Structure 1
Amino acid sequence: MTINVLPEPRTLASASAFARMLPGLALSGALAATGIALGRIAWLQDHGFSALTLAIVLGMIVGNTVYPWAPRLAVASGAGVNFSKQNLLRLGVVLYGLRLTVQDIDHVGIAGVAIDAMILGSTFALACLIGTRWLGLERKTAMLIGAGSAICGAAAVMAAEPVVKARAEQVTVAVATVVVFGTLAIFLYPALFELNRHWALIPGGANGFGIYVGSTIHEVAQVVAAARSVGPDAANSAVIAKMVRVMMLAPFLVMLSAWLARDSTLQALVEAEHAHAKGQLAVPWFAFGFVAVVLLNSLQWLPASVVAVTTEIDTALLAMAMAALGLATHIGAIRKAGAKPLLLALILFGWLIVGGALINRWVPALLG
């Protein structure tokens, strides 16, 4: 007698859900792989174009050309694209902690940490104040542009998106501003270094200027490109200062989440759009995962080969998230946003250059 064992309903449901996501995951993965491959080209690396930036550009190209011509592809890919830009993003942010250690703080000292914290706080506050009260932008757009300018570019924008609950076009606009002004910084900062050699506004020579670079330029790749043009000493201190700034992403997300939950105006909007209970705190749990991974990496228990492979996987996950975001973004929505987001980013860029220089000058003097 033959007994037929039927699969459990939960197993069938999981298989069906994965099957629905597979086309979108495959498309996001293909675009991410292309972006990663292009990101290894020396010319693009020298000009600060990372795999994440290239992935979102490729996603936008496909999303605004192939998708309109093949609506069935867009429908079939929807589930996987949404999974990539939400779930894979959170996992990518957590694993990003493998690039950092607590020991990085020792290399820049208390002054370096204080500089990063002051630049982060002042830049984000200016973004919210100027963006909403003067330029009349939606607060979510201003916050995303502020996060990208204040912390670590596109990665910070993507990490803040689940907390702010912004639309895809708002995220893309914020990322675009990071690309524009971060790329401009690559060519501007070597000229500023030559001026600083005569004016001596920022103390510490190449090392001090490297901290200035790492504390004020948007993307990690852009920091590396700009600092290398100055010299190896500047490059080393710039990368460390930038990594300390990136480590502030997790506490920033937690504080931002608490602020949004306690803001009465935004709370009403959150309740209407997302059916949250009144006073509920939307804790970004992936931020705690990020901190946990940083602490684990600081213990140096993991073999270097494991860290290297996992970092490559993390780059692929973040690139898939960026590609998926590009696929979900329509040019018309960006055009509708107008010139105000770019103007806000320009003002913040000016603050990072001038205000950042003043902070880099006075904080070490005050702390001795």
Structure 2
Amino acid sequence: MGDVAINGVVMSILASRLPGLVFALLLGLAGLGLATLPAFSHLQLSALTLAIVLGMLLGNLVGERLPRRLAPGIAYAQRSLLRAGVVLYGLRISFQQIAAIGPGALVLDLAIVASTLGLGVWIGRRWLGLDRDTALLTACGSAICGAAAVLATERLLKPEPSKVAIAVASVVLFGTLNIFLYPYLQAHLALSPGSFGVYTGATVHEVAQVVAIGNAIGPDTTDTAVIVKLTRVLLLVPFLFLLGGWQARQGGARGAISIPWFALAFVGACALNSLITLPAALRERLLDLDTLLLATAMAALGLETRFARLRALGPKPLVLALFLFGWLSIGGYWLTRWLVG
């Protein structure tokens, strides 16, 4: 009876997620198909960019009229498929490539994370009068890894759900703008493809957005950007431990520390790629699967980026996210020039 009950629960979970997963998958496949058309390839619009645009268009046109039964699968695609795609992306990268980037990129990541967190909390609290949780959630989402950092920090702070929604919506909005801004910047900034990859990885909010930008520019930029970005994601671990320790000293520890295991699994995939040569056909299929997973996750993310929701959140969190967006884009560029060259 125990096995039957467990199987029943598993099948129920799968059935609840399947409609939304299929819906997001179809949008991801549409993005892949559109990316092969000459008009879009000429504009350097990658499958990931097109997938999130399709999701945003549909989400804002149809809005709340989307069937509620799609929600569990869409949320699963945003979280789990994105992380699976990031893990598989490790098969594109080796430790030899990581070593070739140099210590300057690590110092840049540390500088970006520390400065963005400090500015976000200070401006949010002192200038905008935001509460601690909203300011901290928005700052960590901008500084480290977007919505993933917000959700990881939420487990520790245990804030009101509306504050989490504000932070996620703001970092998703400005992180999505990066997908369109950075390929334009690449043509006008005095950075080599490798240095621009460092700049992208150190300053763009979400991992999937970094991959989308890199794919729109070139493989050298993509590989470097993802390595730098995942190094930045790994900084979530010490941040959470420091935050948890600070809360404990303040007598306010309210939750367990969340470790980004998908980033550690990415490192494991890099290690596998560094030590073992996979058969070419198998590696190609895995990388195709990786692209499809990321496109599906981007489509799901676009479906939840609705302008009506953003207007309802109030202006101050968006002002903070806008300031941090400007700091990452402009300040991050000068830090990249100074620390990396």
TM-score of the alignment, normalized to the shorter chain, above 0.5: yes
Shift of the 132–10 alpha-carbon distance from structure 1 to 2, 3 Å rule, reads same
Task: Return the alpha-carbon distance in structure 1 between the equivalents of residues 238 and 54 of structure 2.
Answer: 33
Residue in 1 that maps onto 2:160: none
Q: Which has the larger radius of gyration?
A: 1
| Structure 1: gaps of 5 or more residues | 148-155, 194-207, 229-234, 362-368
Aligned to 1:283, the other structure's residue is in SS state coil
TM-score (norm 1): 0.73
Pair 1:284-2:253 in alignment: no
Task: Return the alpha-carbon distance in structure 2 between the equivalents of residues 251 and 65 of structure 1.
Answer: 37
Shift of residue 350, structure 1, vs aligned partner: 0.9
Tell me if the contact between 1:173 and 1:341 (Cα under 8 Å) persists in the aligned partners.
yes
Residue in 1 that maps onto 2:123: 134
Residue 51 of structure 2 aligns with an amino acid whose one-letter code is A
Cα-to-partner distance string for 1:138-192 (whole Å, 9 max, x where unaligned) = 2222222223xxxxxxxx4355354234845633432432343453343344344
Pair 1:171-2:171 in alignment: no
Tell me if the contact between 1:132 and 1:142 (Cα under 8 Å) persists in the aligned partners.
yes
Shift of the 24–159 alpha-carbon distance from structure 1 to 2, 3 Å rule, reads same
Residue in 1 that maps onto 2:140: 143
Shift of the 356–22 alpha-carbon distance from structure 1 to 2, 3 Å rule, reads same
Residue in 2 that maps onto 1:222: 213
Task: Return the alpha-carbon distance in structure 2 between the equivalents of residues 316 and 169 of structure 1.
Answer: 29
Residue in 2 that maps onto 1:113: 102
Shift of the 305–338 alpha-carbon distance from structure 1 to 2, 3 Å rule, reads same
Residue 216 of structure 1 aligns with an amino acid whose one-letter code is Y
Shift of the 250–67 alpha-carbon distance from structure 1 to 2, 3 Å rule, reads closer
Shift of residue 349, structure 1, vs aligned partner: 0.9
Cα-to-partner distance string for 1:253-293 (whole Å, 9 max, x where unaligned) = 3223323332318998872xxxx3xxx33222222211111
Task: Return the alpha-carbon distance in structure 1 between the equivalents of residues 250 and 299 of structure 2.
Answer: 31
Q: CA RMSD in A?
A: 3.3
TM-score (norm 2): 0.78
Shift of the 90–220 alpha-carbon distance from structure 1 to 2, 3 Å rule, reads closer
Select the residue among 18, 21, 24 that pairs with 2:17.
21
Residue 117 of structure 1 aligns with an amino acid whose one-letter code is L
Residue in 2 that maps onto 1:332: 308
Shift of residue 295, structure 1, vs aligned partner: 0.4
Pair 1:356-2:317 in alignment: no
Task: Return the alpha-carbon distance in structure 1 between the equivalents of residues 23 and 186 of structure 2.
Answer: 37
Select the residue among 277, 283, 286 that pairs with 1:310.
286
Shift of the 223–266 alpha-carbon distance from structure 1 to 2, 3 Å rule, reads farther
Task: Return the alpha-carbon distance in structure 2 between the equivalents of residues 94 and 162 of structure 1.
Answer: 19
Shift of residue 245, structure 1, vs aligned partner: 1.3
Tell me if the contact between 2:89 and 2:266 (Cα under 8 Å) persists in the aligned partners.
yes
Select the residue among 220, 224, 244 that pairs with 1:261.
244
Match runs of 1:194-213 below 5 Å = 209-213=192-196
Identity %: 28
Residue in 2 that maps onto 1:319: 295
Residue 281 of structure 1 aligns with an amino acid whose one-letter code is I
Tell me if the contact between 2:237 and 2:260 (Cα under 8 Å) persists in the aligned partners.
yes
How many residues end up aligned between the 2 structures?
313
| Structure 2: gaps of 5 or more residues | 129-133, 155-162, 205-209
Aligned to 1:346, the other structure's residue is in SS state helix
Shift of the 290–157 alpha-carbon distance from structure 1 to 2, 3 Å rule, reads same
Residue in 1 that maps onto 2:29: 33
Shift of the 209–67 alpha-carbon distance from structure 1 to 2, 3 Å rule, reads closer
Residue 324 of structure 2 aligns with an amino acid whose one-letter code is L
Residue in 1 that maps onto 2:4: 8
Residue 85 of structure 1 aligns with an amino acid whose one-letter code is Q
